Structure 1
Amino acid sequence: MNTRKLLTASTLTALVLASTFPAALEARHFKPSRGTIVETAVAAGNFTTLVAALQATGLDEALSGEGPFTVFAPTDEAFSNLFAATGLTPEELLASPDLPVILTYHVVAGKLYTHNFFMKKNAETLAGETVVFSIGTPAPRRGLTYSVNDATIVAPNIRTSNGIIHAIDKVLLPPKDIVETAEAAGSFSVLIAALKAAGLEEALKGEGPFTVFAPTDAAFGALLATLGVTAEELLADPELASILLYHVVGGELYERDLRCTRSAETLQGGTVRFSSRGPWFMPRKDVYVNGVRVVASNVLASNGVIHVIDAVLLPPEE
């Protein structure tokens, strides 16, 4: 089995995938359960693939223990979408040596209700990697919407005897490093080539953490047209490393941080400034870096976070 195909399946392009879910997944159809997390998932009937995966790895016993745990539970439809996107079969998934890591990436120790997301922007999972929480604008007849990474919580706060279940519409995949994540997306070929040309590729594969504002290929195309230069000339520019480092901040700044922080110093030494119009806890696609729009935020990597931008940032002239 090509497990790399599973783990790098368009972390970024998944941001534009949409799913519809049956009315049975509305939160009002779930009642607090006296059963464990696993027993509750079995009884719900919408998590058969998840339950099979837990049983295949022996994690069903762990999640039947005392806990408490918070489980972000992909629905059967979420798994079906994963199979369609990656070409994997259910049998290949259940046999994958990566399955325990994938499953534990959906589990956080302790109880986390959605109201905790207002003050808690992220959490470490049992896989050792971080998931990020966000709160969206109200949906008709459903109130506020909640997300973990790029997955929407379609049924929140399902109480069980040993924790909380949040049903989600996508399978969460443990992130790769910043460079691998950008390569998997397929829309950052110029950025990747520039990192290699400037000798910065290995640095952004390092421990970090880093926050990268990543211009798309279209953004670089617009810059080349404005400057009247070719891609080859850009890659040979002695200022290339400085330009790239101006897109990188040390540490992890999530979208929520960009709304609360006025500026940050980049690895180039210059400062980038942030602005937005929406409340800090509600992502409304109106976050800007030096006036450049963030078109996709909180793309997680194992060594940081990526925010996709629609123009190249240029350091101010000294």
Structure 2
Amino acid sequence: MRYSNALLPFVATAAAIVIPDEATAQQLVLDTEKKVENTASSWRKQVCHGANALLSSIEDTLDNAFDGLERQTNKLKGIVAEGFEIDIGSDITDFLSPSLYNEAPRGQRGYSTNLTVYQTIRASNHTTKFAKLLDDYPEMVDRLNGTSANITIFVPTDAAFEKIPDRARDFKPPKEFIEKLIKYHVLPGFYPASRILSSHTLPTAFEEEHLGNRPQRLRVSIGLFGVKLNFFTKVVYANLLASNGALHAIDNILTPPPPTKLLISLFPSKFSTLELAAHKSGFIPHHHHHSNTTHPALTGLTFFAPTNTAFKKLGPRANAFLFNSPKGLHFLRALLKYHVVANETLYSDAYYGHQKVPSDSAEFGGEVGEHTADGHFHIDLPTLLGDKHIAVDIARWHGFIRVKLNGHVGVAVQDALTKDGVVQVVDTVLIPPHPRKHRGVWDGESERGISVDELVERLGPYVEEVEGEEAGVEDVEVDGGVEVEL
């Protein structure tokens, strides 16, 4: 994988690992806290020294997680559906001294204590560094000590802080970022292990500006070696029930995810064709962060990102037309627009948007909601391609979730979280139905791909008119021209 030195501090962000949390802090700070720009810049230079040595292992981790995560998750969640329980397990056996434990409540696995969440963090010999961090934020201490509402926390162990490179430990991140970082470890509400196992994403106390001040989420995956958050961070101690909530210990510091464009760039082996398409067509799949009369700020997005495999399925002639001909580039831009939904963020088990949709959750019917009950959920999402929508059907059964688009295209990797929305990965390029004829959508199954004529028919009405050019398919060369990496 290719990275420039400027991107090194952000590599960890995509996997929610701590190389270190300081390194990723500047991503959030530079966008929202201009007054600390000079501090973050100076501190970022120091972090780069520590990040270089870990690049190789990060690349392997990201690629392996991307390739195998969904298969493991679906297989193990199928076991749950059959009536078996997955034990999250604990790599730590002495989180608290024996005198502070009680018997777990009936129906709950794990341990309980009469201490509050904050008192439990303070009492453990494994979380002294996070406790010290908390003490600088009285409002967060009060929240973790309060008994008016339950709260859950994924608390990093002291070993997680040891992963911060030595050079970076002398540079403390801006206080504003640390507060956001702490909130990203906190879940409003009670989330014992059983509820985590049945979730795909979890809402945190960190309200993300680029999601319309809605909760940034954590991604949950179940693998052969336990439960992980955001691809990389492992739960090493689970289900300690406090008097006002629950605690789970983790082996890395969680960091908020990167912007959509940056996340895509971290996986060139999967999205190099998509990046080339965006570059050649002048289309950038992310929104403007600052409001103005020309480009108002968006509040979240859903990006159905086609992989290299998806573009390959189109066939050589269609790709040659889209990438190698001046006329085709206008169709390529229209095609990419059909993969982006603005102002509506659809996760596999939650939705941030304005549509009124039914759900088991009382809050799901307006600005924010979660759909966690077994059954079927349907929504039509408006794309950037004129009046063309994507029909999304989500089927849920005992924690297993299947997402289908336009009736037949499955989401290959669900819920790749980003700062400004979510990426849903597809292995088939989405092509809108014909605007006039009753013809089904292209399913990507033809060995010869899709014909150029059909592409022109389906996308033609949405292609911007270009002076002196007329949409056509003549003289399209399959070989030669600009190389397309497929």
Is the structural similarity TM-score above 0.5? Answer: yes
- After superposition, give the CA deviation of every residue in 1:280-318 in whole Å (9 maximum; x if it has no partner): 7324xx433343332221112222111111222122233
Given the superposition, is the C-alpha separation of residues 7 and 48 from structure 1 closer, same or farther in structure 2, using an over 3 Å criterion? farther
Counterpart of 1:308 in 2: which secondary structure? strand
- Tell me the CA shift for residue 278 of structure 1: 5.3
Alignment-mate amino acid for residue 101 of structure 1: K
> What residue in structure 1 maps to residue 346 of structure 2?
253
For the residues of structure 2 that align with 1:308 and 1:108, how far apart are their CA atoms?
Answer: 26
Flag the structure with more relative contact order, 1 or 2, with Cα contacts below 8 A and sequence separation at least 6. Answer: 1
Please show how residues 164-313 of structure 1 align to structure 2 within 5 Å. 164-168=246-250, 170-186=252-268, 187-201=270-284, 203-206=286-289, 207-223=298-314, 225=316, 227=318, 229=320, 232-233=323-324, 237-250=329-342, 251-256=344-349, 260-267=376-383, 268=385, 269-274=387-392, 279=397, 281-283=399-401, 286-290=402-406, 291-313=408-430
Where 1:96 maps in the other structure, the secondary structure is coil
Q: Extract unaligned runs of 5+ from structure 1.
A: none
Residue 229 of structure 1: how far off its partner (Å): 1.4
Counterpart of 1:123, as a letter, is: P
**Aligned equivalents of 1:203, 1:317: Cα separation in 2:** 27
Change (3 A) 1:253 1:22: same
Q: Is the 8 A contact 1:25 1:154 kept in 2?
A: no
**How many pairs were matched up?**
305
* CA distance in structure 2 between the partners assigned to 1:212 and 1:225 by the alignment: 25
Which one-letter code corresponds to 1:244 in the other structure?
L
How far the C-alpha of 1:193 sits from its partner, in A, is 3.6
Distance, in Å, in 1 between the alignment partners of 2:320 and 2:200 is 45
In structure 2, what is the equivalent of residue 96 of structure 1? 173
Q: Tell me the distance in 2 between the aligned counterparts of 1:237 and 1:245.
A: 12
Q: With structure 1 as the length reference, what TM-score do the two structures score?
A: 0.71
Cα root mean square deviation, aligned: 4.5
Q: Distance in 1 between matches of 2:131 and 2:6?
A: 20
Deviation at 1:35, TM superposition (A): 2.9
> What is the letter of the counterpart of residue 183 of structure 1?
S
Question: By how many angstroms is 1:211 displaced?
Answer: 1.0
Shift of 1:44: 3.8
2:241 pairs with 159, 163, 167, which one? 159
1:135–1:282 CA contact under 8 A, matched in 2 = no
The letter for the 2-side match of 1:131 is R
Match for 1:204: what amino acid? H
Q: What are the superposed Cα offsets for residues 15-48 of structure 1, whole Å, 9 maximum, x if unpaired?
A: 8189996263899896322334344234444435
Paired position in structure 2 for 1:317 = 434
Paired residue secondary structure (1:260): strand
Look up the SS of the partner of 1:229 in the other structure. helix
Identity %: 22
Q: Deviations over 1:109-129 (max 9, x none)?
A: 454445666699643414544
CA–CA separation in structure 2 for the residues paired with 1:125 and 1:210? 20
TM-score if structure 2 supplies the norm length? 0.50
SS at match of 2:266: helix
Aligned counterparts of 1:294 and 1:120: Cα–Cα separation in 2:
14
- Judged with a 3 Å threshold, the aligned counterparts in structure 2 of structure 1 residues 209 and 254 are, in CA distance, closer, same or farther, namely same
Q: Distance in 2 between matches of 1:179 and 1:293?
A: 22
1:296–1:307: 8 Å Cα contact kept in structure 2?
Answer: yes
Question: Are the structure 2 counterparts of residues 20 and 33 from structure 1 closer, same or farther at C-alpha, using a change threshold of 3 Å?
Answer: closer
Q: Give the greater-gyration-radius structure (CA).
A: 2
Deviating more after overlay: 89-98 vs 100-109: 89-98
Amino acid across the alignment from 1:314: I
Closer, same or farther: CA 293–252 of 1 in aligned 2, 3 Å: same
For 1:52 and 1:79, locate their aligned partners in 2 and report how far apart those are by CA, in whole Å. Answer: 12
Any idea what the Cα deviations from partners look like across 1:48-83, whole Å, max 9, x if unmatched? 553454457778745664365321223456566xx4
Alpha-carbon deviation of 1:131? 1.4
Q: Which amino acid aligns with 2:178?
A: L
Distance 2:379 2:253 in 1: 33
Query: Within 2, Cα distance between the matches of 1:25 and 1:113?
Result: 19
Q: 1:47 aligns with which of 127, 133, 147?
A: 127
8 Å contact 1:134–1:281 — kept in the other structure? no
* Contact 1:10/1:184, CA 8 A, preserved across alignment: no
Assess if the C-alpha contact under 8 Å between 1:105 and 1:172 holds in 2: yes
Classify the secondary structure of the residue corresponding to 2:423: strand
**How many Å separate the matches in 1 of 2:89 and 2:192?**
23
> After superposition, what is the alpha-carbon deviation per residue over 1:114-156, rounded to whole angstroms, capped at 9, x for unaligned?
566669964341454421566869x89xxxx877654565544
Which letter maps to 1:70? T
State which of 82, 87, 91 in structure 2 corresponds to 1:22. Answer: 91
The CA deviation at 1:182 is 1.9
